[in-house]
Amino acid sequence: MNVRAHISMTFHLDKCIGCHTCSVACKNLWTDRKGTEYMWWNNVETRPGTGYPTGWEDQERFKGGWEKKNGQLELRLHSRARGLTNLFYNPALPELDDYYEPFTFDYQNLFSAPEGDDQPVARPVSMITGEPMNLEAGPNWDDDLGGSNLYAQNDPNWVGVAPEIQAQMAEIERVAFNYLPRICNHCLNPACVAACPSGAIYKRAEDGVVLVNENKCKGWRMCVAACPYKKVYYNWATGKSEKCILCFPRLETGQAPACFHSCVGRIRYLGAILYDADRIATAANAETQELVQAQLDAILDPFDPQVIAAARANGLGEDWIKAAQASPVYKFVKVWKLALPLHPEYRTMAMLFYIPPLSPIVSSIEEGLVRLELPPEKVDFELFNHLEKARLPLEYLANLFAAGNVEVIKPILRKLLAVRIYKRRQSVEGSIDPATLKIVEAAGTTPEEIEAIYQLTTKPTLQERFVVPPYHREMATEVWNDPLAHKGETGVGFIELPVRGD
Amino acid sequence: MNWNILLFQVFPYVALALLIIVSFQRMRGKPFSVSSLSSQLLERKLLYFGSVPFHWGLLIILLGHLAALLVPQGLLLWNAVPMRLYLLEITGLALALWTLGGLLVLLYRRLSNRRILAVTRPTDVIVLLLLLVSILTGILTAVMYRYGSFWFPSVFTPYLWSIFTLRPRPELVADLPFWIQLHVFNFWVLLAVFPFTRLIHILTVPLGYLWRPWQLVIWVRKPRRLQPIPPVAPPYPTSAKPQAALQDKGGAYGSD
């Protein structure tokens, strides 16, 4: 057992309201420099939808992540030799138009336009060429466009979803969508690290943060293609790759990352978990249907005396072990088994876990009125027994979070529903009837667990949501600079203005 | 000092000095400035038709020149059979034309695409023009003064070795035709500008990728943590209130 700690994350999708505050907080802090305008280290996508960059899940095209070849784990992007021969042209690299051309508006024209018959306008201008341009895409271009034939219908996750259900999802009265906030997953088996010819990307053993060494990066841009989540971006101005740094200067000073801290819906949880580094290789190579379980098995119980002893032997301090025991992520992922990694089939072992969203049941229109297909008083119970009637198809959620395995999603939705039914009965009727208790039992949970889930879901304190262990900056081999000093620079601890080339 | 000595003896040493000293200084002192400066994100179609032939063609041709420098006897032996000489010359010429095509595409792309123009610095164009001169004079040499691979070992191999071994014999190239002299001089110019331009990315060819482990995990703090921390005398009199003193100094980050 090789115990390491990882600062891991949980996003509760049921609570996300799609306000993009996280994206803006991140943008203001890290990516408001030249060359990074199009980078959204944190973005919020509407699902079903094509996401950002458009269609990033289409790995036939973008070649992200790992795949099993003859039992061996290989990068989908290239072999080692092929990686070197593709230096001059990387066929799988997205183009700027797969993101969007960054733009601003010519506001000065509003003041300086000569007097005329018409109101002056602020035309959009490209932030690359500085010339007027027509906007064809932008950040959140498909925001809230659930059911649209341009975005939602081109979602790659419809595989295995019946055509009539897909058609239903496109009807205006039955449109359902949820939000999917995404940051770098800080994977246990990162494909970007493996694909970098220069060896510039690395994972910090202390906390698992994946970083690009901007000094070693030579702009071969293999990481951009190899990351299946498309969360490494190429800075077109400096010729270096950049990615989410999990706000490590904030973590090291005891603060949650900016996107976490600013989250309005309080959907984000952050905490340390202990994992067994020796199990990464086998877990990443598991059968597709068992990938989720294999990854969860690699996460260790921080209360187990054996684990604690092994953690100590690996140099983990008592404060980190304590933090792992108090971690909200550990509770959601391992104790309550409510959270799943996004697209486990990419085999990078993402360490950001999502609690899948509940959705209302399918309704139909009769004579202009919305008719629920179930009597209202029974809706919750019926949904519990007929999860296939949920508006967001089970298969769709399974394609997002469970490599297509519906059986992994079902118990999670059941438990979430049990919490909802139990607390609703409790607060509306004041007492719990036997039918509800039966549901609780069928969901494999207990009233005590439901109370704990409810507590951490609806009214956790800041200290309960973000359990950041002390980083012991006094022991750092490098003494980092003032976090504020990073703003306007390369953003990853490099104190020099990012000038292109010499 | 005549022109011959200035251009083919003094200048080569200036170029080599710049190449070695400035490259070293830049790789060590300003590693952030070293990058392939890829512009594939901004434009990919023309890049494919330009970059691939340009890089591969140039690489193979340079390896050919290197072989002539290192194993001249081998080259002469190979050329002893006329058929093999023709084969070598035709292959070289075809590669040069392929490279030239790629270079022209790259030059056109750099000067016509607005996005690429936005990231173009003067040195980017200078490098392309210098390489254009190299390839054109090389092709002229190959066509007009046949057969280059035949006389290279007796003219350039000794000349280059005389420079590298610090016993310069510039007179070896004194009587060569203008186009060949330009080809040689341009080579020294390219070496001289090498560390100041994007050419420096040639030094960073990541051959280590062939054998490095897939995953790189770095302990940022372990070295220090394992060292015993020496006992330090408390900065305050022990009889005073230590807690208050700590809180005063802890600030926003606490005293962990």
pLDDT in tens, A236-251: 999 999 999 999 989 9
Q: In the predicted model, what is the mean pLDDT of residues A179-200?
A: 96
Chain B residues with beta carbon closer than 8 angstroms to that of A216:
31
Instruction: Decide if A87 and B36 are in contact by the 8 Å CB cutoff.
Output: yes
Q: Looking at the domain assignment, is residue A112 inside a domain?
A: no
List, for residues B109-127, the tens digit of each pLDDT value. 999 999 999 999 999 999 9
Q: Which of B115, B208, B210 sits opposite A81 (nearest CB)?
A: B210
Tell whether A295 and A410 lie within a shared domain: no
Tell whether A250 and A290 lie within a shared domain: yes
> CA B174, CA B166: separation in Å to the nearest integer?
18
Q: What is the pLDDT of residue A265?
A: 93
Q: Looking at the domain assignment, is residue A218 inside a domain?
A: yes
Chain A residues with beta carbon closer than 8 angstroms to that of B204:
198, 218
Instruction: Decide if A470 and B254 are in contact by the 8 Å CB cutoff.
Output: yes
> Is A476's pLDDT higher than 50?
yes
Which is more confident, A217 or B233? A217
Q: What is the pLDDT of residue B238?
A: 45
List, for residues A405-454, the tens digit of each pLDDT value. 999 999 999 999 999 999 988 998 888 889 899 999 999 999 999 999 99
**CB contact burial A343-360 (16+ within 10 A = b; e otherwise):** bbbbbbbbbbbbbbbbbe
Instruction: Decide if B224 and A477 are in contact by the 8 Å CB cutoff.
Output: yes
Q: Looking at the domain assignment, is residue A129 inside a domain?
A: no
Q: Looking at the domain assignment, is residue A499 inside a domain?
A: no
Q: In the predicted model, what is the mean pLDDT of residues B57-65?
A: 96
Q: What is the pLDDT of residue B70?
A: 94
User: What is the average pLDDT value for chain A, to the nearest integer?
Assistant: 90
Instruction: Decide if B118 and A206 are in contact by the 8 Å CB cutoff.
Output: no
Instruction: Decide if B41 and A501 are in contact by the 8 Å CB cutoff.
Output: no
Tell whether A311 and A449 lie within a shared domain: no
Query: Is the CB of residue B198 less than 8 Å away from at least one CB of chain A?
Result: yes
Q: Which of A83, A193, A471 sits opposite B215 (nearest CB)?
A: A193
> Is B11's pLDDT higher than 70?
yes
Look up the CATH number of the domain holding residue A443. 1.10.3650
List, for residues A247-276, the tens digit of each pLDDT value. 998 998 899 999 999 999 999 999 999 999
> Is A173's pLDDT higher than 80?
no
Chain A residues with beta carbon closer than 8 angstroms to that of B119:
128, 236-237, 500
Instruction: Decide if A475 and B221 are in contact by the 8 Å CB cutoff.
Output: yes
Instruction: Decide if B39 and A206 are in contact by the 8 Å CB cutoff.
Output: no
Q: What is the pLDDT of residue A386?
A: 79
List, for residues A321-368, the tens digit of each pLDDT value. 999 999 999 999 999 999 999 999 999 999 999 999 998 776 655 555
Chain B residues with beta carbon closer than 8 angstroms to that of A215:
31-32
Number of domains in chain A: 2
Q: Looking at the domain assignment, is residue A267 inside a domain?
A: yes
Token duo for residue A394: 């089970």
Q: Looking at the domain assignment, is residue A128 inside a domain?
A: no
Tell whether A335 and A367 lie within a shared domain: no
Tell whether A328 and A369 lie within a shared domain: no
DSSP letter for each residue of A102-117: -EEE-THHHHHSPP-S
List, for residues A140-163, the tens digit of each pLDDT value. 898 998 888 888 889 999 988 888
Tell whether A187 and A331 lie within a shared domain: yes
ipTM over 0.90: no
> CA A72, CA A298: separation in Å to the nearest integer?
19
Tell whether A376 and A484 lie within a shared domain: no
Beta-bridge partner residues of A72: A69
B55 marked among binding-site residues: yes
Which residue is it, tokens 């030799």? A81
DSSP letter for each residue of B68-124: HHH-HHHHHHHHTSHHHHHHHHHHHHHHHHHHHHHHHHHHHHHHH-HHHHHT--HHH
B117 marked among binding-site residues: no
Instruction: Decide if B36 and A219 are in contact by the 8 Å CB cutoff.
Output: yes
Q: How many CB pairs below 8 A link A and B?
A: 175
> CA A392, CA A169: separation in Å to the nearest integer?
8
Query: Is the CB of residue B37 less than 8 Å away from at least one CB of chain A?
Result: yes
Q: Looking at the domain assignment, is residue A138 inside a domain?
A: no
Token duo for residue A229: 């989540």
> Is B172's pLDDT higher than 50?
yes
Look up the CATH number of the domain holding residue A84. 3.30.70.20
Q: In the predicted model, what is the mean pLDDT of residues B178-197?
A: 96
Q: What is the pLDDT of residue A172?
A: 78
Percent of chain B topping pLDDT 90: 76
B contact test, residue of A3, A196, A218, A279 with most B CBs within 10 A: A218
Instruction: Decide if B220 and A472 are in contact by the 8 Å CB cutoff.
Output: no
Taking every pair of Cα atoms in chain B, the longest distance, rounded to a whole number of angstroms, is 98
Start-to-end C-alpha separation, chain B: 71
Residue B67: closest CA among B160, B133, B142, B131: B160
Chain A residues with beta carbon closer than 8 angstroms to that of B221:
206, 472, 475-477
Q: How distant is the Cα of B183 from the closest Cα of chain A, in angstroms?
A: 25
Chain B residues with beta carbon closer than 8 angstroms to that of A239:
35-38
Chain B residues with beta carbon closer than 8 angstroms to that of A84:
205-207, 209-210
Instruction: Decide if B210 and A80 are in contact by the 8 Å CB cutoff.
Output: yes
Q: What is the pTM of this model?
A: 0.89
Q: How distant is the Cα of A94 from the closest Cα of chain B, in angstroms?
A: 7
The chain B residue lying nearest A210, using CA atoms, is B217
- Cα–Cα separations (whole angstroms), residue A76 to A83, A156, A185, A206, A348: 11, 18, 18, 28, 11
Start-to-end C-alpha separation, chain A: 47
> Is A137's pLDDT higher than 80?
yes
Band the pLDDT of B224: cuts 50, 70, 90: very low
> Is B251's pLDDT higher than 90?
no
Q: Which of B33, B36, B56 sits opposite A502 (nearest CB)?
A: B33
A298 within 8 A of A6, measured Cβ to Cβ: no
Q: What is the pLDDT of residue A379?
A: 66
Percent of chain B topping pLDDT 70: 85
Q: What is the pLDDT of residue A490?
A: 54
Chain B residues with beta carbon closer than 8 angstroms to that of A88:
51-52, 54-56
B194 marked among binding-site residues: no
Tell whether A292 and A372 lie within a shared domain: no
Q: What is the pLDDT of residue B49?
A: 97
Which is more confident, A359 or B155? B155
User: To the nearest 5 percent, what fractions of chain A are helix, strand and coil?
Assistant: 40, 15, 45
Q: Which of A94, A224, A500 sits opposite B37 (nearest CB)?
A: A500
Tell whether A351 and A414 lie within a shared domain: no
Stretch among A487-496, B122-131, B177-186 having the lowest mean pLDDT = A487-496
Q: Looking at the domain assignment, is residue A331 inside a domain?
A: yes
Tell whether A222 and A321 lie within a shared domain: yes
Tell whether A337 and A364 lie within a shared domain: no
Question: Checking phi first, is residue A239 left (phi over 0); if not, alpha (psi -120 to 50) or beta?
Answer: left
Instruction: Decide if A205 and B119 are in contact by the 8 Å CB cutoff.
Output: no
For residue A229, cis peptide bond before it (omega within 30 degrees of 0): no
For residue A385, the one-letter residue type is: N
Tell whether A346 and A368 lie within a shared domain: no
Percent of chain A topping pLDDT 90: 75
Instruction: Decide if A199 and B206 are in contact by the 8 Å CB cutoff.
Output: yes
> CA A239, CA B37: separation in Å to the nearest integer?
5
Instruction: Decide if B209 and A80 are in contact by the 8 Å CB cutoff.
Output: yes
Q: How distant is the Cα of B3 from the closest Cα of chain A, in angstroms?
A: 32
Q: Please, what CATH class does the domain formed by B3-33+45-210 belong to?
A: mainly alpha
Beta-bridge partner residues of A124: A105
Stretch among A46-50, B95-99, B127-131, B217-221 having the lowest mean pLDDT = B217-221
B22 within 8 A of B195, measured Cβ to Cβ: yes
Domain that holds residue A246: 1-90+143-357+473-490
